[in-house]
Amino acid sequence: MLHHIVDCITKHIVVGSEMMSSVVVDAAATSSSEKKTSWPEVVGMSIKEATETILKDMPNAYIQVLPVGSPVTLDLRPDRVRIFVDTVAMTPTVG
């Protein structure tokens, strides 16, 4: 049985422990069989592109961007999506 519940949900995009943005959106809940749980198509995209792609499928996602190998909690949050990154984007410099 498909239940549609419209909620006002706050969406957060997080880099490490710092919140980058917060937006209030309306989202309709769908059955668990229709929900996407992974996004292999975002591998190789920029963080912004990956975030936009994930939010199209899961508008209420709480997205965390973390370095590969970061310690994470083992609790299950159905609204959380973690993006792990490991590429240096610019030359590190002193100063």
Task: Report yes or no on 68 lying in a domain.
Answer: yes
pTM: 0.62
Say whether pLDDT at 4 is over 50. no
Higher pLDDT, 82 or 24: 82
Domain that holds residue 81: 6-85
Residue 95 lies in a domain: no
**List of residues 6+ apart from 74 with CB closer than 8 A:** none
**CATH number of the domain encompassing residue 63:** 3.30.10.10
- Per residue in 37-77, pLDDT tens? 999 999 999 999 999 999 999 999 999 999 999 999 999 99
The average confidence (pLDDT) of the chain is: 75
Give 33's pLDDT tier (boundaries 50, 70, 90): low
CA 66-52-85 angle, 5° bins: 20
Q: Is residue 90 part of a domain?
A: no
For position 34, what pLDDT does the model report? 76
The answer to whether residue 20 sits within a structural domain is yes
Query: How many domains does the chain contain in total?
Result: 1
